[in-house]
Chain A
Amino acid sequence: MSRNLVYLLLAFVVTGVASSQEPGRKVPSVTLAPVGRVAIKAGSTANVELDFRIGSEFHINSNKPHSELLIPTAMKLNAAEPVNVASLKYPAGQDMSFPFAPDEKLSVYSGDFTITAVIKAPPKAANGTYPVTGELRFQACDRSACYPPRLIPVKFEVTVVGR
């Protein structure tokens, strides 16, 4: 199944469930594309690209919005020992103006964006598959309204190989 089809189905389900709260209301969605197999050698690191897609017509704040009042997009991940999350790399936001603040540039993500998780396996890590779980927090707006912060789960597995 293609990644686009998976995105479409996920967005469809999210939109449908949320629309049960208010008929006809469009709600923001952010979906995570399936994460492929992640293999890592003991004593090394792996960059895991987490690809997200924001529903059309919506934008979310970047990880570094220009105002402290705005809620940044942020991810929290926990890896099962012995692997660990060494760092997270967020993309730069795109500076955009919107009709509700034409003179202001907001740092936002829209469409697709990728957060890279740097996963580290210590030299003595035993071969095996380890879960990495967490959540992405984001706060979305469209051209005339905003929505409360939401969390979506993030989950993938890392396989330590080749010891």
Chain B
Amino acid sequence: MFIAILAMLATGKYLDRTHRHGAPVLVGDVRGITAPNFELATLDGQRVKLSDYRGKAVLLNFWATWCGPCKVEMPWFVDLQKKYGNDGLVILGIAMDDSETPKIAQFASEMGVNYPVLLGTDKVSEAYGNVELLPTSFYIDREGKIVGKGEGLLGRNEIEQNVQKALASPVAGMNKAQASPTQAKGVKVPAIAQ
């Protein structure tokens, strides 16, 4: 019976690794991979694409209102957004709730969130490697490459180090002062409180 179960598991793993061929699968070490683009709605109904923030360092944080560990990180993100916003950091919170938008908005407001919160979808979760464990964060550099990933509650220092790593890489052919092409092109992105 154990042999039969092991065979089933091995088959399952094989099928799982092959049925998604062709699409980027963000599992294992994801550093250096271009972050999959997406378009999601904000809490106030705007549409936002990840590519709108090219030239910025992005901290993409998957969270939910029912996730206790996620609540611990949020005040840190608020501080980091204040501290590094002028350097080009954008934090995007992707809410993976089934809750109604006003409830998510109320929660974010009570937590003092000063960065855009987007309404997550199964599609974006799948694009980022079937994000189930919350919180999960991806640290994306100014060129759109993933430079780090954190699963579960990390320490603030570790998060800040990843943010600094994402900020460190200049956009090719651009110095730090120029590295805000979305604003230069007049692309409308949700305002971020500093």
Contact = CB atoms under 8 A, between A and B. Distances in A.
A binds B: yes
Contact of B12 (A9, A16, A27, A101): A16
A162 interface: no
Contact of A100 (B1, B9, B153): B153
Interface of A is mostly: loop
B130 A69 contact: no
Bin the interface of chain B by size: 20 to 34
B51 to A, nearest CB: 26
Given A17-B9, A139-B66, A145 B71 contact: no
Interface string B65-87: 11111111000000000000000
Nearest to A102: B72
Contacts of A149: 98
A9 B72 contact: no
A70 B153 CA distance: 18
Given A17-B12, A146-B67, A22 B152 contact: no
A138 B67 CA distance: 13
Interface string B130-152: 10111100000000000000011
A100 B130 contact: no
Interface string A141-160: 11011111100000000000
Interface in A40-89: 69-71
Given A22-B27, A101-B71, A148-B96, A71 B134 contact: no
Contacts of B71: 100-101
Interface string A1-44: 00000000100110011011111010100000000000000000
A99 to B, nearest CB: 8
B134 A23 contact: no
B78 to A, nearest CB: 17
B28 A106 contact: no
Contact of A146 (B5, B98, B107, B134): B134
Contact of B107 (A9, A69, A139): A69
A139 to B, nearest CB: 6
A75 B184 CA distance: 54
Nearest to A71: B66
Interface string B1-41: 10001001100110111000000000110000000000000
A13 B8 CA distance: 9
Given A16-B5, A145-B151, A100 B12 contact: no
B27 A141 contact: no
Contacts of A146: 64, 66-70, 133-134
Contacts of B135: 145
Nearest to A98: B68
A145 B133 contact: yes
B129 A22 contact: yes
A124 B133 CA distance: 50
B132 A147 contact: yes
Contact of B16 (A12, A13, A21, A106): A21
B69 A148 contact: no
19 contacts: A9-B1, A13-B5, A13-B8, A16-B8, A17-B12, A20-B13, A20-B17, A100-B68, A100-B153, A101-B72, A141-B68, A141-B69, A142-B152, A145-B153, A146-B67, A146-B134, A148-B64, A148-B96, A149-B98
